Chains A and B, each alone.
Chain A
Amino acid sequence: MKTQSNKLFEPALVQTALKESFIKLDPRMMIRNPVMFTVEIGTLVMIPVMIYSYSHQGQGSFAYNFAIFFILFLTVLFANFAEAIAEARGKAQADSLRKTREETPAKVVMPDGSIVTKSSSDLRKGDVFVCETGDTIPTDGEIIEGIATIDESAITGESAPVIREAGGDKSSVTGGTKVLSDEVRVIVTTEPGESFLDKMIALVEGASRQKTPNEIALTILLASFTLVFIIVCITLKPFADYANTPITIAALISLFVCLIPTTIGGLLSAIGIAGMDRALRANVITKSGKAVETAGDIDVLLLDKTGTITIGNRKATQFWPAKAVSPDDLITACVLSSLADETPEGKSIIELASAHFKLPTAPAGSEFVKFTAETRSSGIDTPQGLRIRKGAFDSIRNIALKAGNPFPEEVEERVKEISSNGGTPLVVSQNEVILGVIQLQDIIKTGIAERFERLRKMGIKTVMVTGDNPLTAKFIAEKAGVDDFIAEAKPEDKMNYIKAEQNAGKLVAMMGDGTNDAPALAQADVGVAMNSGTQAAKEAGNMVDLDNDPTKLIEIVEIGKQLLITRGTLTTFSIANDVAKYFAIVPALFIASIPALQSINIMHLHSPESAILSAVIFNAIIIPMLIPLALRGVEYKPIGASALLRTNLLYYGVGGVIAPFIGIKLIDMVVGLMF
């Protein structure tokens, strides 16, 4: 999966796109884009004109007409190519995801209980299959029985295995991932070809791609500009007749094509596709283009504390021995129990201990007791008869009480104190006697405060959602720099918060994974479900994050903004270009009969023919030149709306006025040699 290429034009993709650009000439497809459709009509009109000019006078030379025809044809092709290359890139990206789920054998459980091996492509929704250690999961589904560690690196690129189990919020498995231990039974949740990924691929492909509301609005505006220029060009004919100036058809069509917003018209769908593609590159599957667009408008961001604001795992920060226990004894026990513990918590205990302690080694023949969901503790049994356990307060207390040992009061108090300060207590026992507590503390991610600052500049309010008590939550919230927090959050709290914000007119984004997150995910304007989450959560949200990375929301918002900015700036650029084109073409049209209008020919273009050709050529080549910008997107800077408008207005507005003056003049210097 992490084989993403950052090259915009890979030869293989370019080839597909080139082929597609011709297929897209089909008027039935072209009409979806009114601006380019009119260019195609103009091109078609040029064919008879060209033929006529071969044998007749009055419409200019054949070579000139042919040149116009050819450039107009190129203009249409370029626009098609822009769309095709965006599609090809999106598809290639999706395909690389799809490759992870090629034909794999599936052990299907038949109704009578027997197990039959089928191909993954034969699985239907509702089928149940079994996966054991070492099996590749054949398709997306939900665990109905068992617990397993799973390697999801094929999808997420993250090498650490994850635990997936039935019943909880982490019950989803993805096709292409691998079971590392244990055995699970999985029910198939999607029909073949209907997975989120399949839907995403369909979104990228032209056929089922729906225009987003904003895209529709912009298309309307562009269509109306096109209509204005149709009026301008048609009325120019009687105006010219009045002024006794014959205007060739080629000149009229050229003027029209130059004036209508072909640049943005040609790139509009590419920009939309590229937005989804950028989301996909960030390992986010969007269920609609609208979701990406909405992401740019988000006002409020609901973020889970764990994994987003704090490093997913807590770290050991302090050892608290019981009264009767020496600190060294406690630390020794802690280290011994953690030596073989591969969890980040375990590692952090070793790390803390090594700071002021010479690490003991585990006696040979020791048996490490792994953490399980049932025991909620882990530890070590040495051949010398030591049984060290560390784990959650109540589970270790149970062990001690069962053996008839008391739970020291001061330890219990310490436990409470740690929890109320935002930490997690880990109680340690040796041979069922309580030794003390390890304090685990949330570690706030480095750089997260800066990210929140960036969000604040974007005008987005961040809200931390946590199960912690309000005091702890407040402590972390202040430290991380979030604007608000929901403490001791129950799923319905999220829902209520979202509704309240929405009633105030705000757009809310959130991320979730559990089935009980589903209503809130559906309620949120942008709901991102983690791929590890339940099917219900994934159905409810409008995006699925394959990396299960909560900070992804921030990226998604920026992708959304970028999408809109790219549309806006290229529209501005396209319209601003027209000024120079007028100065090229209008004098060219009338100079023969109204020589005084030579004064408007401020670029001093060589001849009327060369002026018109240069303008049309500029108009055509600007499209492929801007494809990289359309695909990559215009950079978003959180510098405040007015400052951003000023910057973009300067680059794309003023730049859009000046660029074609230079471009057309340069082209004219070459074209002028021939015409």
Chain B
Amino acid sequence: MNTELLGIIASFVVTLLIAIPLGKYLAKMYAGEKIWTDFLKPIETGIYKLSGINPKEPMNWKQFLKAMMTINILWLVYGFFVLIYQDKLPLNPDGNPGQSADLAFNTIISFVVNCNLQHYSGETGATYLTQHFIFMFLHFTSAATGMACAVAVFKAFKDKTTTDLGNFWEFFVKSITRVLLPLSIVVAVILTFNGTPSSYAGKDKFISLQGDTVNVSRGPAAAFIAIKHVGTNGGGWFGANSAHPLENPNYLTNMVEVIAQVILPVAMVLAFGYYIRRKKLAWIIFGVMTIGVFMLMIPTITSELAGNPLIAKMGVSQITGAMEGKEVRFGPTATAYWSTMTTVISTGSVNGMHDSTMALTGLWQLLAMMINSLYGGCGVGVLNYFIYLIIAVFISGLMVGRTPEFLGHKVEAREVKIAAIITLLSPFLILAGTAISTYVFTNHLGGDWAVKPSTWLNNPGHHGFSEMLYEYTSSNANNGSGFEGLGDGNIFWNVTTGIVLILGRFLPIIGPVAIAGLLAQKKYIPESAGTLKIDTKTFGLMTFAVILVLNALSYFPALALGPLAEYFSMLK
């Protein structure tokens, strides 16, 4: 077996080895059981006291969501203004300018929603202050928001009947102090020792062999990059993200970074099982997700290793696979593995150029983000999967002749309505967004805009379509990776993707928490032989079918016009 393959197998195995105990730890920690990290309690108590919070106050689902929304809106406002005025604020050794209103709008939303679409480049578009006190800060808080909301859903199904979904502040604070911070510290230390900069000094300079003077951006990047992965954020310190030699210096850091981004999403799934004492359910969910991931990953790796058919037609051998847009230090296999992982979970960091991947790889990347719950983002992956579960429970409940139940609670019109709206939301945002951009591109090519639509696409045609589709898909999934090759740093893209980002984040959080809250307050129905058990392989298969069919039906025409058309045209 070649080492490239061994590398990714090792990455996956290590991920599981960390995620399983981490899942147990999370369940215990959130449940408030005795745990070794309790020594951090005084710090948390200090935070609660300072903020005037009573962490023991029970919250129903409305209060919980209100707390969550309030704090997030606060960050939006705060971040927006700091970004606009960052040039006038300290910690700006490189003298970078303030962001324009539309760029700041897009940027702050994308960081608050754990997406990090980044229509700017870290080297020139942000200052150390904004990188640290907005971006890195939000890396923590946005991940913690998702985790706290997932725990609310956990809690809803732990007790038979309850209105108490736990305290948002407690879950939120603990997510940071007990999970995100410790993990990030470990990752940051490893990165620092492997050459990632960790200094407040401005640009460095060197003279190349050719005699050119090269300015090298740096900064306190290692800490930032650590949480960018641990919190499935994905927003890079440098514009080139983890393809940048300082952001991801070698194969070891590459492994660490790709492992760091997957452990929490997997651990959250397992934590669900440990928390509600239904381990089997969690493993079934994990199984469904993993099969989905492999079904995306294997063809991705295969198509990247096979190389470009157009180059093959020219008679050029491609023993190393498709190398365009890849870092030589990682190679196509590790890049393909990363590209699958970064799209199935909502990190969106990249260690290669997605725009340069093969047409079919683009298809899998898009599909991964459309599904957005094969592991999914930190916390939100479980929430997204929960919606699919509700739909699957509803249809299969009928098929066994009972009005559908989820873990002992009847699923009725109100819950179905919410689940239906959330299911509807993704195709609406992705397709409507892409429709608007294609409409503008087709009909107002030379429009009198600051950035003419005609300059949006580096590659018109099918690939250009994929680029636009990718941008909205990534925004809706709060992924943040880009197909690039798209001129997205202008008001049209900033505003439209900004709207998609904010809707694509909060509604899919509010929906599941509301459903869980509504279900939890219903009478608990004990299981009988006629009850559909959801911790079975059969039901896992059903969920998988629901995920597959719903997404295929929503996106097939768009995917046919983008990556599929490109792929088949290449073969001709």
A residues with a Cβ closer than 8 A to B are: 213-214, 216-218, 220-221, 223-224, 227-229, 231-232, 234-243, 259, 293-294, 296-297, 299, 456-461, 504-506, 560-562, 564-565, 567-569, 571-572, 575-576, 578-579, 582, 586-587, 589-590, 594-600, 636, 640-642, 644-646, 648-649, 652-653
Contacts and interface: CB of A to CB of B under 8 A. Distances in A.
Interface string B413-438: 10011011101100110011011101
Interface string B102-115: 00000000000000
B337 interface: no
Interface in B9-58: none
A645 B561 contact: no
B491 interface: no
Nearest to A300: B528
Contacts of A653: 545
Contacts of B532: 641-642, 645
B399 A561 contact: no
B560 A600 contact: yes
Contact of B569 (A217, A242, A594): A594
B28 to A, nearest CB: 29
A216 B420 CA distance: 13
Given A235-B431, A642-B536, A597 B564 contact: yes
A634 to B, nearest CB: 9
B506 interface: no
Given A228-B424, A564-B398, A600-B564, A220 B549 contact: no
B402 A296 contact: yes
Contacts of B73: none
B122 to A, nearest CB: 32
Interface string B539-558: 10110010001001110111
A220 B420 contact: yes
Contacts of A505: 408, 523-526
B463 to A, nearest CB: 12
B458 interface: no
Given A564-B398, A597-B560, A220 B413 contact: yes
Interface of B: 391, 394-403, 408, 411-413, 416-417, 419-421, 423-424, 427-428, 431-432, 434-436, 438-439, 441-443, 462, 465, 523-526, 528-533, 536, 538-539, 541-542, 545, 549, 552-554, 556-558, 560-561, 564-565, 568-569, 571-572
A594 B441 CA distance: 19
Contact of A642 (B411, B421, B539, B560): B539
A596 B565 contact: yes
A672 B368 CA distance: 38
Contact of A586 (B531, B538, B557): B557
Shortest beta-carbon contacts, A-B, top 3: A568-B398, A459-B530, A561-B401
Contacts of A644: 399-401
B529 to A, nearest CB: 4
Please report whether the interface of chain B is mostly helix, strand, loop or mixed according to DSSP.
helix
Contact of B465 (A242, A565, A576): A242
B401 A235 contact: no
A600 B561 CA distance: 11
B529 A649 contact: no
A519 B541 CA distance: 45
Contacts of A237: 435
Given A221-B391, A568-B395, A645 B539 contact: yes
Nearest to B391: A221
Contacts of B558: 235, 239
A294 B532 CA distance: 16
B198 to A, nearest CB: 46
Contacts of B398: 214, 218, 564-565, 567-569, 571
A458 B402 CA distance: 10
Contacts of A296: 401-403
B13 to A, nearest CB: 31
Contacts of A579: 549, 552-553
Given A213-B413, A642-B532, 10 more contacts: A221-B391, A235-B558, A239-B435, A239-B438, A505-B523, A589-B557, A596-B569, A597-B568, A645-B538, A648-B399
